[in-house]
Amino acid sequence: MAGDVLGLVLHPTRDVSEVVGTIADWAARHRITLAVRTEDRARVPASVEAVAADELAGRCAALISIGGDGTMLGALRMAVRDPKPVLGVHLGRLGFLVEVEPPDLPRALERLVEHDFTIESHACLACDVCGDDVVAFNDIALVRQPGAGFVTATLAVDGQRYGYYRCDALVVSTPTGSTAYSYAAGGPLISPATEAMVVTPSAPMAGISRSVLLSAHETVHLELRADSAPVAVEMDGLLIRQAATEGSVHIRYVKDAGRVVRLDPRRYQERNQLKLSLLDLPLLPDQLRELLPDGLREQLNRRELPPPR
């Protein structure tokens, strides 16, 4: 991999300086060029090149996402036209996509340069939202405006009308996204090996009240009814349209749209199973921390301390 360019995708607000410094030192030893989006130029060493956001993925052999799942999803969307391997470094809280913890980063980078990893493919949803093309690796959601009534929309699959929804939110997710908004709304967990989409209403009042599981070959069409309240449209948790009162969302499944670097797939799956178990416990994070052994709790506390200035 010597001579290649690696792109850094940074969490928008967290302090990433320590992790970026580790990567920059490693890159210098291996004669690897680093690049970052122009808007993040001030957050990285002078040796890192600045590239326009829409050109970063095309310029790089791989991307390194530094943050949580949201940052990872952004990196995948950035590379969707020409999928590149994305390595996730965990600086978030409860992440299901990211794998590498900062203490393990040096070895992870060595394995990256040695091509000692596997690729986990991820599907995306290609969406036409009221005439605008967007992609989502987790989900696309129609969400009610607070105090403004309910989302009321019809569902058609491959042109065949299924019924309608009257609910607080309507979520269409990939298997990857089935652990996110859809899961919180009562939707099923879907194996990442499954090629499928799931449509889940949140707090349904009338119409379809359960999740609808669809194949990867079917297309979804959601259309707001005239009696719907204004709705917001979210893509992977990001607001992309506010107070829409009419229009439709057309969704199709695209396989192999994202490539995630996996270093230890078995350990990664075991860790995610534990995280899902913790989600179902009626405890706050501080209460969960008290259940940990003393040594593990001390490690977690040290990890969350700010780096020395």
Domain that holds residue 170: 124-255
Of 157, 149, 154, 241, whose CA–CA distance to 198 is shortest? 157
Give me the pLDDT at residue 308, please.
Answer: 46
> Would strands 196-202 and 212-215 be described as parallel, antiparallel, or unpaired?
antiparallel
Give me the pLDDT at residue 282, please.
Answer: 63
**Known active-site residue 132:** no
Could you tell me if residue 286 is inside a domain?
yes
- How far apart are the C-alpha atoms of 168 and 147, rounded to whole Å? 11
Give me the pLDDT at residue 309, please.
Answer: 43
Same-domain pairing of 130 and 52:
no
Whether the Cβ atoms of residue 21 and residue 45 lie closer than 8 Å to each other = yes
Same-domain pairing of 108 and 174:
no
Give me the pLDDT at residue 296, please.
Answer: 58
State the DSSP H helix or E strand holding residue 297, giving kind and residue range, or none if neither. helix 294-304
- How far apart are the C-alpha atoms of 32 and 7, rounded to whole Å? 11
Annotated binding site: 69-70, 138-139, 166, 168, 203
The single-letter DSSP state of residue 100 is: B
CATH of the domain at 143: 2.60.200.30
- How far apart are the C-alpha atoms of 248 and 177, rounded to whole Å? 21
Annotated binding site for NAD(+): 69-70, 138-139, 166, 168, 203
The pTM (predicted TM-score) of the whole model is 0.87
Same-domain pairing of 128 and 77:
no
Q: What is the pLDDT of residues 149-168, one digit of tens each?
A: 999 999 999 999 999 999 99
Same-domain pairing of 110 and 129:
no
| Mean per-residue pLDDT pooled into runs of 10, the chain (309 residues) | 82 96 95 97 96 96 96 97 95 80 93 92 96 96 93 98 97 95 94 94 97 98 96 97 92 97 75 59 65 63 51
Same-domain pairing of 95 and 242:
no
Give me the pLDDT at residue 148, please.
Answer: 86
Same-domain pairing of 154 and 213:
yes
Domain count of the chain? 2
Q: HSE on the CB side for 126, CA within 13 Å?
A: 13
Give me the pLDDT at residue 99, please.
Answer: 87
Of 77, 73, 233, 209, whose CA–CA distance to 141 is shortest? 233
Catalytic-labelled residue, pool 15, 69, 132, 236: 69
Could you tell me if residue 57 is inside a domain?
yes
Whether the Cβ atoms of residue 148 and residue 229 lie closer than 8 Å to each other = yes
Give me the pLDDT at residue 187, please.
Answer: 96
Could you tell me if residue 309 is inside a domain?
no
Backbone angles phi, psi at 4, to 5 degrees: -75, 165
